[in-house]
Amino acid sequence: MRLDKFLADVGMGTRSEVKRLIHQGAVAVNGSGRISPKQQIDPKHDVVCCFGTELHYQKYVYYMFYKPKGCVTARKDKTHKTVMDYIDVGRTDLFPAGRLDLDTEGLLLITNDGTLAHNLLSPAKHVRKTYLAKVDGCVGAKEAEAFANGLDIGDDTPAKPAKLVILSSGEASDVEVTITEGRYHQVKRMFHAVGREVLALKRTAIGDVTLDAALSPGEFRELTKEEEEALKAGKRE
């Protein structure tokens, strides 16, 4: 791996910023400051220090992000702020695993692990995604049964059975929905199929990983080892 890429990936700055650090003499490899940004290093064996502190490389990283409303789940967008605009860790290889609609908030995984992202998103894996929703009108046992049986939402095949828990019911109802797919606008389309419209939507969990209550919209943190292992194990239906 090139030295400048290593430094950028461990969060020391952009490629141009880390090149300045190297030229300023702030970086040493195996005790030597006679280095260049293009120098090839082995992250497993070479010792890289910046300002005297040893740096440790992680091939794969995992962040829990509280996506706010109004930003798009993309790396770049000409019109809106993207989720990646919030992730200021220096790495350039990160991407959102899955997506949330523009007006949906909540838990989003940011990573560079393509295999894990595929497993979380694959319909064949049946990984649970849990949402809190505010829905117009009274939601009751009839809607819960319809969700449990699977719903025709206009696709070639019906949506798989989902769990609908009613938290409060009235002119507007608060519910918790757990699905095992990730179709386009799925939760909204499922409620539309039973004559209800979603007023607000928030994803609270992916498998056994739950959105940290200490995070505010727009904030993120690294996953704990336990959370990382839970995602890799994959909570199934």
Lowest-pLDDT choice from 61-75, 200-214, 222-236: 222-236
DSSP bridge pairs for 177: 131, 164
Same domain as 36, residue 69: no
Among residues of the chain, what percentage have pLDDT more than 70? 98
Q: Is the pLDDT of residue 111 over 60?
A: yes
Q: What integer is the mean pLDDT of 4-32?
A: 91
Tell me the pLDDT of the chain averaged across its residues: 93
Domain hosting 105: range is 62-123+211-233
Active-site hit among 77, 85, 93, 101: 101
What CA–CA distance (Å, rounded) separates 160 from 156? 12
Same domain as 151, residue 192: yes
Q: List, as one string, the DSSP characters of 107-169.
A: EEEEES-HHHHHHHH-GGG-B-EEEEEEEES---HHHHHHHHH-B--SSSSPBPP-EEEEEE-
Same domain as 191, residue 215: no
| pLDDT band per the 50, 70, 90 thresholds, residue 233 | confident
Domain count, the chain: 3
Same domain as 201, residue 133: yes
Same domain as 74, residue 48: no
Same domain as 200, residue 134: yes
Same domain as 66, residue 39: no
Same domain as 47, residue 21: yes
> Could you identify the residue written with the tokens 């200021």?
88
Same domain as 151, residue 178: yes
Q: What integer is the mean pLDDT of 177-186?
A: 93
Same domain as 119, residue 219: yes
| DSSP structure class, residue 223 | P
Q: List, as one string, the DSSP characters of 22-88.
A: HHTT-EEETTB----TT-B--TTT--EEETTEEE---SS-EEEEEEPTT-BSSS--SSS-BGGGG--
Look up 208 and say whether it is catalytic.
no
The answer to whether the pTM exceeds 0.85 is no
Same domain as 143, residue 97: no
| pLDDT band per the 50, 70, 90 thresholds, residue 109 | very high
| pLDDT band per the 50, 70, 90 thresholds, residue 141 | very high
| pLDDT band per the 50, 70, 90 thresholds, residue 89 | confident
What CA–CA distance (Å, rounded) separates 20 from 27? 10
pLDDT tens-digit readout, 39-86: 999 998 999 999 999 998 888 999 999 999 999 999 889 899 999 999
Q: What is the CATH number of the domain that holds 146?
A: 3.30.70.1560
Q: Is the pLDDT of residue 163 over 50?
A: yes
What CA–CA distance (Å, rounded) separates 179 from 33? 54
Tell me which of 39, 55, 71 is where a domain ends.
Answer: 55
Q: What integer is the mean pLDDT of 120-127?
A: 84
Same domain as 199, residue 134: yes
Q: What is the CATH number of the domain that holds 43?
A: 3.10.290.10
